[in-house]
Amino acid sequence: MTRISTVEDRFFDKLSESSTGCWRWIARRDRDGYGQFRVNRRTVVAHRWAYEFLVGEIPEGLVLDHLCRERSCVNPFHLDPVTVAENVRRAQRPDLLTHCANRHPWTPESLYLPPRGGRVCRLCNRRRRGRQAAPS
Neighbours of 106 (CB within 10 A): 14
pLDDT for the residue 127 = 85
Q: Rounded CA gap, 128 and 122, in Å?
A: 10
68: helix, coil or strand?
coil
Provide the residue ranges of all domains of the chain, joining segments of one domain with +. 7-81, 98-136
Q: Which of 119, 76, 117, 75 is nearest to 97 (CA)?
A: 119
Q: Tens place of pLDDT for every residue, the chain, 136 residues?
A: 566 679 999 999 999 998 889 999 999 999 889 999 999 999 999 999 999 999 999 999 999 999 888 899 999 999 999 999 988 888 887 767 788 877 888 888 898 888 776 788 899 888 888 765 545 5
75: helix, coil or strand?
coil
